[in-house]
Structure 1
Amino acid sequence: MIRAATPADVPVIRDMIRELAEYERAADHARATEEQLHEALFGAHPAAFALLAEDGGEPLGFALWFRNFSTWTGTHGVYLEDLYVRPSARGAGHGRALLAALAGICRERGYERFEWSVLDWNEPSIGFYRSLGAEPMSGWTVYRLAGEPLRALAEEAGKTGLSGAKSNAA
């Protein structure tokens, strides 16, 4: 069964995020607290959404996603931040059901793109995604600005008179 997450699910979502981070060899990077997740998923202005895969009420996996926007198509899309199925439940169709539910959201809302990233070494996931018809975006490289470089660049906004508070961002 796939269902939308509720505030009561935040602790199990946090646990599965930690499990995913361990699998991805980056446990020390998974620092989000339950309070942060609750605000992001269920606060006054949700930044993300989550679906849970369950069997008999037992949480077996989750998908955490947010809306993105394509200036080329003029439509929103879904960006899948995390997809995780617990090892004991893999191979039973839960990951596929979570992705199918997100594809259904795209169809229902007129979103034209459903995108995500996968680690280059994660061959089981790559094979699974290809079996669904997903294709890698060749010619594109993901970039990230974080930590000190992000702080340093943000300081430039103050020097130019621009700040995030003056933008039209939510």
Structure 2
Amino acid sequence: MHQTSWQLRPVEASDYERWRELFAGYAEFYGLDQTPEQVDTVWSWLLDPAHEIEGMLVAGPDGRPVGLMHFRRFSRPTSATVGGYLDDLFVDPQTRGAGAGDALLAGLKSVAAERGWSVVRWITADDNYRARGKYDQHATRTTWITYDMPV
């Protein structure tokens, strides 16, 4: 059942508690341990208009956020263009299947179009089958493999 009245908006200072709950759900899903200091750092980035990371929330008609996404622009030297990178996307498990994820992805696509980005890119875990099914509806899976180099 898709809800038709999703509200998508940037995070605001008054969203901290709900954003923190959603971000904790995201971290738990991926098995990430985050300290309160790390969470507060990310929050400070989201509220800083000079920082590259932006955050948006999706809410239903009651205004309560049920999902979040964090994204940023990135330069693409091989095409001499700028793209968008979706770092995090999470929808409250109790709301999944109602269209909140679609609303977030559609909202990001609109942001990308407004800003002239050439692509929106993201990664997900290989075993994140439910999200991959959703992503397959909005984007094309690539053959690129991701590496992390410890520093």
TM-score exceeds 0.5? yes
**Which structure 1 residue ranges, 5 or more long, are not aligned?**
151-170
Counterpart contact for 1:11–1:34, Cα < 8 Å: no
Relative contact order, CA 8 A, sep 6+: which one is greater?
2
Secondary structure of the equivalent of 2:146? coil
Q: For 1:19-168, list aligned pairs within 5 A.
A: 19-24=25-30, 26-28=31-33, 30-31=34-35, 33-43=38-48, 45-55=50-60, 56-132=62-138, 134-138=139-143, 140-146=144-150, 150=151
Letter in 1 for 2:140: E
Provide the aligned length of Structure 1 versus Structure 2: 143
| TM-score (normalizing by structure 1) | 0.77
| TM-score (normalizing by structure 2) | 0.86
| Alpha-carbon distance, 1:57 to partner | 1.5
- Of Structure 1 and Structure 2, which has the larger fraction of its residues in helix? 1
Q: Separation in 1 of the partners of 2:9 and 2:122?
A: 20
The CA RMSD measured in Å over matched residues stands at 1.6
Larger C-alpha radius of gyration, 1 or 2?
A: 1
Letter in 2 for 1:11: E
| Alpha-carbon distance, 1:143 to partner | 1.5
Runs (4 or more) in structure 1 with deviation over 6 Å come to none
